[in-house]
Every structure is written in C-alpha cells, then in structure tokens.
Amino acid sequence: MAENTKPAAKKLRLNIIDFLVIIVILGAVVGIALRMGVVERVTNQSNVEAARISFLIQDVQEASADYFRIDDVFTAKNLECEFGKLESRQFMPAEAFIANINGELIKTHSSNNRIDVRGTVIGSGTFTDEGFLLAGINFIAPGSTVRLQSSELDVLATVTAIEKVEKSS
Amino acid sequence: MGNTKQKRRFNVVDALIILLILAVIAAAAVFVLSKGVGGRKSNTFEIEYVVELRTVRDEFADNIKVGDRLVDSAAKYQLGEVIAVSTSPATFTGTDLVNGALVYCNYPEHSDISLTVKASAETDSDGMYIIDSGYRISVGSTMYIRTPDFVGTGYCTRFKKTEVR
C-alpha cells in the first residue's frame, strides 16, 4: 500500500542573488522616475496658478483673423499641453524690414493681405525661481516659439510676456 | 528512506545575473563619481565668458538681469550666473545700390545683447572646457540659452579663466 504523503510545502527562500536583483530593479525604477522628472512634475503641478501669456504671430494671411475667436482654447502642440483660452487679440498689417536704395534697413508694413496678430491667453502653470512652467511641466519665457493649435487654426507664435493673473477678491 | 537535499548548482544564468549586477553597480559608481560628489576635482576653475545674442526684439531685450542663472535650453545644463548685461542697437549690413558700398545701419526695433557669465569649469581629456560636467564651451559655439524671463540663441564670443580653485 503506497503511503499517501503530502509533499511538504516549499518555502520560498531569498538568496543573496535574488536580493541583489530586487535592489537593482528598484534602483532602476527610482532612477527612471528621477530622470523623467516625475517627482518634480508632481510637485510643480500641485502649485498651478492662472497666468496671462502674451504672444505675437507674424506674417499670416489676413483671412486667418476670422479664426481667432475670444474664448477659443489653444493647445501648444510642440509642448503637448494646453496653452490657454484666448482673452484678447489685435490685428495689424504684417511688419516687414526692407533695405532701401542706400542699403539702410527701414521698417514698413505688408500691403499684400498679410497680418501680424498680438494677443493674450489665460493659461495656467507654475511660477518658479527658474521661470514659468506651462501646465506645471514645460518651461516657456519671452522669446519661446510655440506651435498653437485650436480647433481650426495652426500657427507659430512667439511668447512676448507672461504675468500672474491676480485673483479677484 | 533518506532525504536527499537538492544541491543548488551555480549555472550560466546565475553568472550572467551577477555580471549584470556588477555592471550596473560600476555604471552607477562612474556616474556618481563623475558628478564630483563628495570631493573637488583638482582641475576645477572659474571662468568668465561672453554670450552674444543678435537681433533680439526690443520688447524683451531687457528681460535678462544681472544675477540670473543661465541654463542650456536643450539639456538643462547650468551654465553659470550672469554678472553683466549690455544692449546696443542691432546692426544690419546693407549694400548701397548706387555705388556698391557696404552700409552699416541699425536694425529697427531690435537690439544685440551681450552677456558676461561667470561659471565653474573643468577640462576634459582633450583639454576642452566643460561646464556642469557635460557642457562643452568654446568660442564660436552656438548656445541655446534661457533665463527665468528669456529664451534665445547666441554665440560664445570670448572667455577667460579667472580663478583656479
């Protein structure tokens, strides 16, 4: 008669190699998180405030003016985050710099149905000692070039100013 | 009936895992030590260098202030502290179409900005100057820079050693 013996449960024992593998995996995870700025992002995104961002769009066709509608939401395509809601816009003939017959550069304006657009959006981000982080993630400052997209528009803009929007009491 | 204890044999997979762990530890050690943690390198010194930004719109030509930290826009290297800023009208080189002479005039509503920056640097094995353990700087190099209130592109036009640590 064969004896029915239940095999003893195997105990899971960690040896030194298993322990080292676990440490290396944990170290890799922590390293990746730090390298990708995960900690920084979480911290910055918790201090998001409203910001008024001024921009300049140069030399677009005059018909594009119809697509800049107040309260339209613009996305910063190259930064993959929201840029803001259009608060104001002004249209003016596109500036142009041309050299005259004497070789001197003079400023003039296009008469070929091209315009410049200046405006402001109300966006959000974090104001830090190193500058403004749009959506708490992406650094922008005057001089930055941003590809703006709305539901009907796709243009290149230059940031000209950023200021904090004071909360109304 | 005896209990035979299964002997654990050291095999190729175990050897590969140990090699991998040793490689990761060595890489981490090189990374940490190359950042200079815990000690000064004997060839660290202070430099001052000049960055010229050309044809910047006047509306943000005054955005860079003395004391601003200069950062590389691309890889976020810390490039030093701005210790002097000077602006001048941007220049344009045109041609007089009457006599063919070169004409130098101002570029309307634009300025050239010259920044003097102070930074710590070291030399690499090729003798090149390195800032923040990774940013190679030399006269003529294009610099994509940012400060808290400005982003732009310029060129390093001068630098000098000021102090050996």
Instruction: Report the length, in residues, of chain B.
Output: 165
Per-residue CA distances from B67 to A15, B1, B54 (Å): 54, 83, 21
Distance in angstroms (rounded) separating the CA atoms of residues B52 and B108: 18
Separation of first and last alpha carbons in chain B: 76
B144: closest CA of chain A, how far (Å): 11
Task: Specify the pLDDT at position B39.
Answer: 43
Listed residue (B32, B102, B88, B2) closest to A103, CA to CA: B102
Task: Specify the pLDDT at position A7.
Answer: 57
Per-residue confidence band for A8, with pLDDT thresholds at 50, 70 and 90: low
Per-residue CA distances from A158 to A134, A146, B6, B153 (Å): 14, 6, 71, 14
Task: Specify the pLDDT at position A1.
Answer: 47
Spell out the domain ranges in chain B: 10-39, 44-164
A148: closest CA of chain B, how far (Å): 18
Query: Which helix (H) or strand (E) element contains residue B148?
Result: none
Distance in angstroms (rounded) separating the CA atoms of residues B125 and A27: 30
Task: Specify the pLDDT at position A127.
Answer: 94
Task: Specify the pLDDT at position B2.
Answer: 47
pLDDT in tens, A128-165: 999 999 999 899 999 999 999 999 999 999 999 999 99
Contact B108 A131 (CB under 8 A): no
Question: Mutate which of A36, A102, A118 to test chain B, going by most B C-beta atoms within 10 A?
Answer: A102
Distance in angstroms (rounded) separating the CA atoms of residues A140 and A83: 10
Q: Which residue has the higher pLDDT, A23 or A5?
A: A23
Partners of B51 in the beta sheet?
A: B115, B156
pLDDT in tens, B117-164: 999 999 888 888 999 989 999 999 999 999 999 999 999 999 898 876
Instruction: Report the length, in residues, of chain A.
Output: 169
pLDDT in tens, A12-34: 677 887 887 888 788 888 877 77
Distance in angstroms (rounded) separating the CA atoms of residues A90 and A93: 10
Distance in angstroms (rounded) separating the CA atoms of residues A164 and A166: 6
Calculate what percentage of chain B has a pLDDT beyond 70: 86
Per-residue CA distances from B38 to A3, B35, B80, B121, B133 (Å): 66, 9, 21, 17, 15
- Asked if residue B35 has pLDDT above 70, the reply is no
| Candidate from A17, A140, A160 with C-beta closest to B14 | A17
Question: B residues 102-131 near A, CB within 8 Å?
Answer: 102-103, 105-109
For the segment A102-130, the average pLDDT, to the nearest whole number, is 92
- Asked if residue B165 has pLDDT above 60, the reply is no
- For B38-50, letters b (16+ CB in 10 Å) and e give eeeeeeebebbbb
B84 and A CB contact within 8 Å: no
Beta strands at B129-131 and A154-164: parallel, antiparallel or unpaired: unpaired
Task: Specify the pLDDT at position A47.
Answer: 82
pLDDT in tens, A20-77: 788 878 888 887 777 666 666 666 667 899 999 999 999 999 999 999 999 999 999 9
Listed residue (A93, A117, A92, A95) closest to A108, CA to CA: A95
Which of the residue ranges A6-20, A115-129, B20-34, B122-136 has the most confident prediction, judged by mean pLDDT? A115-129
B155 and A CB contact within 8 Å: no
Task: Specify the pLDDT at position A42.
Answer: 66
| Candidate from B14, B20, B148 with C-beta closest to A141 | B148
Contact B97 A102 (CB under 8 A): yes
Task: Specify the pLDDT at position A38.
Answer: 65
